[in-house]
């Protein structure tokens, strides 16, 4: 028998990508149900060559029996409906930030800490997209060399802000006078060092997510994470420039080999032939790509490197589906 799976927020960018990833990865589905607000209820989406009618999200339907419910409808929706579904005995995989730092709720990147899900039922949090691709690289390096400090600058695609942001970028590319509504500045031809709201300490909420989520996923609060999150005029794919300081001196070739042998990580690193990863390489792929690995000019215990990943896939939809898969594998 296959799985009964529900997707809450299935008409949004990440929700649609979840449906796509489920099909691509051949998740054994007996029945797929899609839920959304009144605005989208009644619409039809295709899955396995069959039409699926989008249902209205209600408390009663969340009390029904599912093997898994994948949420991608925002924090307020998750706050209201995820506990109802979990109390009914369902496993909830939530893509919002609502439950990530809640004590007792696992925050999971399957290749890094998926083992903690064995025997678990309830709400599981999917990390922030920029955190996910970073910890894919940090985890093996931390185990080998012990990371003391990570300084990261992100270059994040507009798709992380949804369909309206993509539309705004595309229209501004052809009309320089098209107004900015999603962002505080014009995004076309620009870089905006502002993602989410600012905290009193000068860091944005997006940047602080990278700090706290990294600590929780790696189970180590001692790593000093200093992020700057930037929105760039790219449609799909986040890039990150990362500087790491270690307790042990790393060897570049050993790092390349270590990361190259890490599940879900692909190393493209041959600068003599101009080989390094870009978001075009990562687009519509599930892996995290790494390149430009080099030792610091002044500190032998430090490295710099470059990371890219598809923010809608590994940064959101794929990671959620992988959580489902690993729970099935741990049974």
Mark whether 191 is an active-site residue. no
Q: Which long-range contacts (CB under 8 A, 24 or more apart) does 18-24 make?
A: 18/70, 18/72, 18/317, 18/320, 18/321, 19/45, 19/47, 20/317, 21/286, 21/313, 21/317, 21/318, 21/321, 22/47, 22/321, 23/47, 23/48
User: How far apart are the C-alpha atoms of 59 and 45, rounded to whole Å?
Assistant: 22
Which helix (H) or strand (E) element contains residue 243? strand 238-246
Tokens of 91: 């496993």
Tokens of 16: 């649609």
Question: H helices within 158-290, ranges in order?
Answer: 163-174, 205-218, 252-260, 279-282
* Phi-psi category of residue 196: left, alpha or beta, with phi > 0 → left and psi -120 to 50 → alpha: left
Query: Which among 129, 191, 212, 215 is annotated as catalytic?
Result: 129
Bridge partner list, 154: 229, 240
Query: Which among 191, 194, 215, 238 is annotated as catalytic?
Result: 238
Bridge partner list, 207: none
Bridge partner list, 226: 151
Closest Cα partner for 290 from 322, 242, 244? Answer: 242
Question: Catalytic residue numbers?
Answer: 129, 238
């Amino acid at each position: 028998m296959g799985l009964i799976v529900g997707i809450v927020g299935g008409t949004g960018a990440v929700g649609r990508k979840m449906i796509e990833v489920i099909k691509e990865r051949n998740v054994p589905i007996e029945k797929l149900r899609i839920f959304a607000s009144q605005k989208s209820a009644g619409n039809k989406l295709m899955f396995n060559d069959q039409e699926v009618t989008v249902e209205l999200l209600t408390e009663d339907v969340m009390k029904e029996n599912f093997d898994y419910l994948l949420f991608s409808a925002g924090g307020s929706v998750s706050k209201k409906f995820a506990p109802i579904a979990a109390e009914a005995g369902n496993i909830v995989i939530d893509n919002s930030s609502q439950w990530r730092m809640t004590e007792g709720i696992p925050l999971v990147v399957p290749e890094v800490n998926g083992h903690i899900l064995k025997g678990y039922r309830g709400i599981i949090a999917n990390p922030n997209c920029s955190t996910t691709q970073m910890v894919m690289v940090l985890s093996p390096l931390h185990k080998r060399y012990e990371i003391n400090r990570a300084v990261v600058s992100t270059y994040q695609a507009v798709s992380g802000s949804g369909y309206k942001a993509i539309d705004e970028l595309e229209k501004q590319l052809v009309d320089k006078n098209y107004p900015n509504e999603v962002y505080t500045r014009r995004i076309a031809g620009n870089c905006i060092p502002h993602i989410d709201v600012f905290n009193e300490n000068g860091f944005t909420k997006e940047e602080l997510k990278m700090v706290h989520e990294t600590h929780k996923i790696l189970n180590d609060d001692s790593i000093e994470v200093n992020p700057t999150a930037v929105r760039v005029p790219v449609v799909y794919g986040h890039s990150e420039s990362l500087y790491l300081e270690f307790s042990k001196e790393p060897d570049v070739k050993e790092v390349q080999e270590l990361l190259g042998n890490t599940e879900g990580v692909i190393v493209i690193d041959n600068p003599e032939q101009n080989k390094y990863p870009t978001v075009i390489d990562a687009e519509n792929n599930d892996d995290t790509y790494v390149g430009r690995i080099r030792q610091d000019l002044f500190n032998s215990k430090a490295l710099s490197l470059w990371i890219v990943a598809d923010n809608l896939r590994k940064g959101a939809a794929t990671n959620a589906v992988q959580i489902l898969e690993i729970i099935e594998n741990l049974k």
